[in-house]
Chains A and B, each alone.
Chain A
Amino acid sequence: MHVQVIGAGIAGLTAAFELARRGVEVSLYERKPGPGLGCSFYAGGMIAPWCEREAAEPIVTQLGLEALDFWTKTLPVATIKGSLVVAPPRDRSDVVSFSKRTSEFEECDSRRIGEIEPDLADRFPYGLYFPKEAHLEPRDATGALGKALGEMPNVALHYSTDASDAKGAFDFTIDCRGFAAKPVLPDLRGVKGEMLVLRTKDVVLSRPIRMLHPRRPVYIVPRTDPHEYMIGASMVENEEPGRITARAMMELLGSAYTVHPGFAEAEIVEIGGDVRPTYPDNLPRLTLREKTLAINGLYRHGFLLSPALASRAADVVMKGAHFPELMH
């Protein structure tokens, strides 16, 4: 069996990897010069199935559990250090609401927060600690997938190549083009996200920190470089990638500063943004049309959902499986 995968974002890379692992011959096409250079490039990389439950349907948590296994065992690039959710004193009700909508956390007071994350000692009176959650550096993860695929004898990687230039006949095509697939998946919309990367030695955080705020929520994720932190991310119902607004930067920086004033003197290493491909229910879908299967709508959950979607996509392609919760 020979399968064409279009798109080397996190959805395409994991799909190609899963098929190749199962012995399928895979040809991967990507217009950009390498893996993970689309919206995956700007991801936070939180593997946080329980935190995401706060605003997502149960299926996101269910599928996300498989990602914990994938990113720590199959392709071990993630670190399990848990995640910490905090809020300023006057937004305590947001912590209560958050806790009511999810599970697998420990309630923390100020002292406990200081034990978990010493630099946040005495900064927040309440928090929630999700010990089983993980985080990864998205660019390491896509790089590792690209490398693993490159070493597999049954995989051909075609970067800087449009799929329409593909030569040869394929038994199946997996379309992982993200928002670029909108012409064939008209239900897709883009939800813009903006982020930045800060570099500082004044703040040490070991795990993702989410600060709740009614207008300016923020998360801070440690990167592989021990002094770099990804600050994200805006969520705007808007489809223009690459245009970073002053407001988003002000809000993200203001919130990062609230988490720790040490960020004030940090160096801004990078700013970036793209649009998240999203269906109206904010849930992922596998769309089967004859011999083409589209994996799309991963929204803000690319790294969280892609391993589970890849394995189901492989089942569809290889065994004709049907997953009603994803293929409606």
Chain B
Amino acid sequence: MKDVARAPDDALEVYGTKLASRLFVGTSMYDSPAILADAVKASACEVVTVSLRREAGGSRAGSSFWDLIKSMNVRVLPNTAGCKTVKEAVTTAQMAREVFDTAWIKLEVIGEDDTLQPDVFGLVEAARILSEDGFEVFPYTTEDLVVAEKLLGAGCKVLMPWGAPIGSGRGLNNVFGLKAMRAHFPGVPLVVDAGIGAPSHAAQALEMGYDAVLLNTAIAKAGDAVAMAHAFKLAVAAGREAYLATPMEPRDMAAPSTPVFGVAFQQ
């Protein structure tokens, strides 16, 4: 058996950075920063997302928590969570670049309060402004192919469609749409961001050929966040290995795994 998933050349490459882990983990809502740090370790993730909008305050005083994040020795993907306008998102991204010394930005422009779905028009506009300013943008988007094309046109080299509304834990709501997106952009790193509730959802995304998953609530709000982080690590590895192993195609009728014709004593 080829140990494909652990082959060194299976690394995920985003904006020229190679990542062995295909799990990105959000840092909010944990019972404590200590539990967050243990969960990050158990997940073996190499990328964590951090929100800045609210924590920054008037004097960017959120530094102690940010220092804790920096001390975890993982790559930080700052995000513009909670931003509702292009201007707000761009300002937050610029501040994130200063605070975390990175060109990476997870771009969220929220369009609707109940579903927290992206305002895709503002998203494309902000992505263009930030890309031209040298940012490496990870846009939180829907599975809409036209929006995806426009984001690529705006300079994004990674796309992050939602699985389901943020924090809903409903898994992959539109499997058909996500499959179409995967087929439509074979060469673009695609990350399912938001809506993942259980490790099986993450495995499913990876089995479908998604390059990675990004999640927060499913780990942070689990009864045991650290154990759940480890479960996600295993699920993501399993899903990736299954994808590389080419899963069988489903069929409508039973197909016996042993021949039934001519079995002795059969009446």
Residues of A within 8 A of B (CB): 55-57, 97, 100-101, 188-190, 192, 214, 236-240, 243, 245, 247, 280-283
Contact = CB atoms under 8 A, between A and B. Distances in A.
Main secondary structure of the interface of A (DSSP, over half): loop
Given A282-B33, A282-B34, A240 B57 contact: yes
B58 interface: yes
A76 B45 CA distance: 50
A326 B34 CA distance: 15
Contacts of A192: 57
B98 interface: no
A239 B59 CA distance: 9
Main secondary structure of the interface of B (DSSP, over half): loop
A236 B57 contact: yes
Contacts of A56: 31
B61 A281 contact: no
B16 to A, nearest CB: 31
Interface in B33-64: 33-35, 37, 54-59, 61-64
Given A97-B221, A245-B57, A282-B34, 16 more contacts: A56-B31, A57-B31, A189-B33, A189-B65, A190-B64, A214-B167, A236-B55, A236-B57, A236-B62, A238-B54, A239-B62, A243-B57, A243-B58, A245-B54, A247-B54, A281-B33
B54 A281 contact: no
B64 A189 contact: yes
Nearest to A282: B32
A281 B31 CA distance: 8
A282 B38 CA distance: 14
Contacts of A247: 54
B187 interface: no
Interface of B: 31-35, 37, 54-59, 61-65, 68, 167, 221, 223
B32 A239 contact: no
Contacts of B221: 97
Contacts of A237: 55, 62, 64-65
A100 B37 CA distance: 24
B68 A189 contact: yes
A280 B167 contact: no
19 contacts: A57-B31, A190-B64, A192-B57, A237-B62, A237-B65, A238-B54, A238-B65, A239-B62, A243-B57, A245-B54, A247-B54, A280-B32, A280-B33, A280-B34, A281-B33, A281-B35, A282-B32, A282-B34, A283-B32
Contacts of B68: 189, 280
Contacts of B62: 236-239
B32 A238 contact: no
Nearest to A240: B61
Contact of A239 (B37, B61, B223): B61
Contacts, number: 58
Contact of B54 (A100, A189, A236): A236
Nearest to A97: B221
Contacts of A101: 223
A60 to B, nearest CB: 10
Contacts of B55: 236-238
B58 A240 contact: yes
Nearest to B54: A236
A190 B65 CA distance: 9
Nearest to B62: A238
A27 B32 CA distance: 35
Can you list the 3 inter-chain pairs with the closest CB atoms, starting with the nearest? A189-B64, A282-B32, A237-B65
B61 to A, nearest CB: 4
A146 B37 CA distance: 40
Nearest to A275: B61
Contacts of B63: 239
A55 B57 contact: no
Contacts of B56: 238
Contacts of A189: 33, 64-65, 68
A92 to B, nearest CB: 13
Contacts of B223: 100-101
A282 B61 CA distance: 19
A281 B33 CA distance: 6
A56 B32 CA distance: 8
Contacts of B167: 214
B192 to A, nearest CB: 20
B65 A281 contact: no
Nearest to B36: A280
Contacts of A240: 57-59, 61
A288 B54 CA distance: 35
Contact of A238 (B33, B34, B37, B61): B61
Nearest to B68: A280
A93 B160 CA distance: 27
